[in-house]
């Protein structure tokens, strides 16, 4: 209730370590850290503290050469993404700062994309009672609100979507120091409620009275003789903001990005629409994945082994990897690159020369929808065409129909690109980990163009319900996905 919220704010002012409350009622104010807000959205979001050294804060706290408790970077799993020390400490510190800034920017992106309708960003000039230098706007705030050019910085104009409001002058002295003295002077605190112009008996008594008699506030305003137009104007502003919360959001405009999806996106959508949502629609930062890196490296290696070089077109375009191939499952080790290469060299594909390798394609569907992808290898023998996809992940269960979606899209692409009759096409998954191949005749695949169209319609209808399965264990979003967490908990409590 409003009363408990105000009580909370009052208590929070007294005790900065107060545990963050998470009211569960949907129509309530939620206070949370940016990390806690990951995956959540609200009509109105306030992000305070966008001041220098507060947010972003690029203070380096994890220099392994300055703190013994830090794990040396070269033995860390994510060492490829960390700065390396090359004998000059000042340069290394600079690189650490840049990395800290990147992390803060990622976090800033999460904070700023939580708002559905309105986003309020604020920064104060002074923070903390002890400081003798003011904070001023931090880099993110300045980038949005605009900044004057200086000798070191060319400056920038305010972002067109931003309305800037400055609420008070910037005092040269820290005004919070007096606050400390005032608090110290008022010790021990008295229970007496400080009256103000409007609530002469204190706001708490006014609130209790207003609950008993809803007209009491109006009566107090009339009795106080305050400037009625000014009071009405500020009340109108609050009412406008409250109306935003209760007005249903207008239908979201169709996002053009979502009209063109990769094969990996399609498989992800079929596996878990919620994971697709957090990857494609409202993307959240993801952990670097060793499994995805291994998948990419092996695909490049096979490409070079098969035709003697890597294709020159868009070498950065990643291969189509399904969700089960890109997630790192805690506690499960990955196969070594050598074992996967050996599996390829021992297979029937090692001796063959593919007609096409990493063949890119775009399938255009009704209403302008596009599906794009790459077929790992295409082998042709006589009239028979075999489309092969190399898999570095686990082999799915035989009755896993979604596993066939990728191959169905490839078969459709082959029909479109080369005008092939489906009876002449077979599609193969080659599981490098086990050395198994699973081949299916294109005619036996049940996914059709209609199914692909239905998936795009699902995206436009914004139906992104979670579908928990085995992939939850390696899903980057598990931490804040209730359905996924419940599934994983149920799995781990099942007798093995």
Binding residues for ligand SF4, per CB under 6 A? 272, 274-275, 466, 468, 471-472, 475, 477-478, 481, 483-484
Q: Minimal distance in Å, beta carbon 489 to ligand SF4?
A: 12
DSSP-assigned states of every residue in 222-249 = HHHT--HHHHHHHHHHHHHHHHHHHSPP
Task: Name the residue nearer to ligand SF4 (CB basis): 298 or 478.
Answer: 478
Task: Name the residue nearer to ligand SF4 (CB basis): 270 or 375.
Answer: 270
Task: Name the residue nearer to ligand SF4 (CB basis): 138 or 484.
Answer: 484
CA distance 367 to 452: 12
SS3 (DSSP) at 40: coil
Task: Name the residue nearer to ligand SF4 (CB basis): 101 or 483.
Answer: 483
Q: Do residues 326 and 350 lie in contact, with contact meaning Cβ atoms separated by under 8 Å?
A: no
Task: Write down the residue that tokens 């008022």 correspond to.
Answer: 186
CA distance 44 to 41: 9
Counting Cβ atoms within 10 Å, is residue 178 exposed (0-12), middle (13-18) or buried (19+)? exposed
Task: Write down the residue that tokens 């370590």 correspond to.
Answer: 17
| β-strand partners of 157 | none
Q: Minimal distance in Å, beta carbon 102 to ligand SF4?
A: 25
Q: Minimal distance in Å, beta carbon 348 to ligand SF4?
A: 34
DSSP state letter for 20: P
Residue whose Cβ sits closest to ligand SF4: 484
Q: Minimal distance in Å, beta carbon 329 to ligand SF4?
A: 12
Q: Minimal distance in Å, beta carbon 254 to ligand SF4?
A: 23
DSSP-assigned states of every residue in 360-409 = EEEEE-GGG-EEEEEEEEEEEETTEEEEEEEE-SPPPPTT-GGGGHHHHH
Q: Minimal distance in Å, beta carbon 283 to ligand SF4?
A: 13
Q: Minimal distance in Å, beta carbon 464 to ligand SF4?
A: 9
Total length of the chain = 496
- Please report, for the chain, how many H helices and E strands are present, in that order: 16, 8
Task: Name the residue nearer to ligand SF4 (CB basis): 427 or 481.
Answer: 481
Task: Name the residue nearer to ligand SF4 (CB basis): 55 or 277.
Answer: 277
Task: Name the residue nearer to ligand SF4 (CB basis): 262 or 428.
Answer: 262
Task: Name the residue nearer to ligand SF4 (CB basis): 413 or 471.
Answer: 471
Find, among 386, 358, 356, 354, the residue nearest to 374 by Cα. Answer: 358
| Radius of gyration of the chain from its Cα atoms, rounded to whole angstroms | 30
Q: Minimal distance in Å, beta carbon 88 to ligand SF4?
A: 43
Task: Name the residue nearer to ligand SF4 (CB basis): 14 or 397.
Answer: 397
Task: Name the residue nearer to ligand SF4 (CB basis): 121 or 280.
Answer: 280
- Between strands 436-441 and 425-431, the pairing is antiparallel
CA distance 473 to 490: 12
Could you give phi then psi for residue 404, rounded to 5 degrees?
-85, -10
Q: Minimal distance in Å, beta carbon 266 to ligand SF4?
A: 15
Cβ count near 421 (within 10 Å):
11
Q: Do residues 408 and 263 lie in contact, with contact meaning Cβ atoms separated by under 8 Å?
A: no
Task: Name the residue nearer to ligand SF4 (CB basis): 124 or 478.
Answer: 478
Q: Minimal distance in Å, beta carbon 476 to ligand SF4?
A: 8
Could you give phi then psi for residue 393, rounded to 5 degrees?
-95, -170
Element (H, E) at 444: none
Task: Name the residue nearer to ligand SF4 (CB basis): 409 or 478.
Answer: 478
Separation of CA 58 from chain center = 21
Find, among 397, 268, 291, 403, the residue nearest to 340 by Cα. Answer: 291
Q: Minimal distance in Å, beta carbon 484 to ligand SF4?
A: 2
Q: Minimal distance in Å, beta carbon 431 to ligand SF4?
A: 21
Task: Name the residue nearer to ligand SF4 (CB basis): 43 or 476.
Answer: 476
Q: Minimal distance in Å, beta carbon 445 to ligand SF4?
A: 24
Q: Do residues 57 and 97 lie in contact, with contact meaning Cβ atoms separated by under 8 Å?
A: no
CA distance 323 to 357: 22
């Amino acid at each position: 209730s409003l009363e408990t919220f105000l009580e909370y704010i009052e208590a929070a002012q007294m005790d900065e370590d107060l545990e963050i409350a998470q009211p569960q009622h949907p129509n309530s104010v939620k206070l949370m850290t940016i990390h806690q807000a990951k995956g959540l959205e609200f009509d109105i979001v306030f992000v305070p503290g966008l001041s220098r050294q507060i947010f972003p804060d690029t203070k380096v706290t994890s220099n392994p050469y300055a703190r013994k408790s830090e794990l040396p970077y070269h033995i860390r799993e994510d060492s490829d993404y960390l700065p390396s020390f090359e004998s000059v400490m000042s340069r290394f510190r600079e690189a650490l700062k840049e990395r800290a800034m990147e992390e803060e920017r990622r976090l800033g992106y999460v904070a700023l994309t939580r708002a559905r309708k309105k986003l309020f960003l604020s920064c104060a000039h002074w923070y903390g009672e002890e400081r003798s230098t003011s904070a001023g706007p931090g880099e993110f705030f300045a980038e949005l609100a605009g900044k004057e050019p200086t000798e070191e910085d060319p400056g920038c104009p305010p972002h067109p979507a931003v309305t800037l409001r400055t609420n008070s002058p910037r005092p040269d002295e820290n005004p919070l120091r007096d606050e400390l003295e005032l608090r110290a002077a008022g010790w021990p605190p008295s229970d007496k409620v400080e009256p103000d112009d409007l609530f002469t008996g204190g706001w708490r008594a006014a609130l209790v009275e207003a609950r008993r008699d809803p007209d009491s506030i109006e009566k107090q305003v009339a009795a106080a003789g305050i400037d009625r137009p000014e009071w009405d104007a500020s009340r109108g502003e609050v009412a406008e903001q409250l109306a935003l919360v209760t007005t249903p959001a207008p239908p979201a405009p169709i996002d053009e990005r979502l009209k063109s999806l990769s094969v990996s996106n399609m498989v992800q959508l079929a596996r878990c629409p919620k994971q697709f949502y957090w990857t494609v629609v409202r993307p959240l930062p993801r952990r670097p994945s060793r499994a995805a890196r291994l998948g990419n490296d092996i695909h490049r290696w096979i490409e070079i082994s098969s035709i003697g070089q890597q294709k020159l077109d868009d070498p950065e375009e990643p291969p189509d990897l399904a969700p089960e191939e890109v997630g790192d499952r805690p506690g499960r080790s990955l196969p070594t690159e050598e074992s996967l290469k050996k599996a390829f060299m021992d297979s029937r594909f090692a001796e063959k020369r593919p007609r096409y390798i990493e063949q890119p394609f775009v399938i255009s569907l009704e209403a302008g929808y596009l599906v794009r992808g790459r077929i790992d290898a295409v082998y042709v023998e006589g009239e028979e065409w075999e489309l092969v996809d190399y898999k570095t992940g686990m082999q799915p269960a035989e009755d896993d129909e979604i596993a066939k979606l990728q191959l169905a899209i490839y078969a459709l692409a082959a029909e479109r690109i080369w005008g092939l009759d489906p009876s002449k096409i077979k599609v193969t998954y080659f599981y490098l980990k086990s050395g198994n191949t699973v081949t299916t005749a294109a005619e036996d695949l049940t996914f059709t163009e209609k199914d692909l169209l239905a998936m795009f319609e699902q995206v436009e209808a914004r139906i992104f319900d979670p579908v928990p399965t085995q992939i939850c264990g390696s899903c980057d979003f598990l931490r804040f996905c209730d359905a996924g967490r419940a599934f994983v908990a149920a799995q781990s409590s099942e007798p093995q």
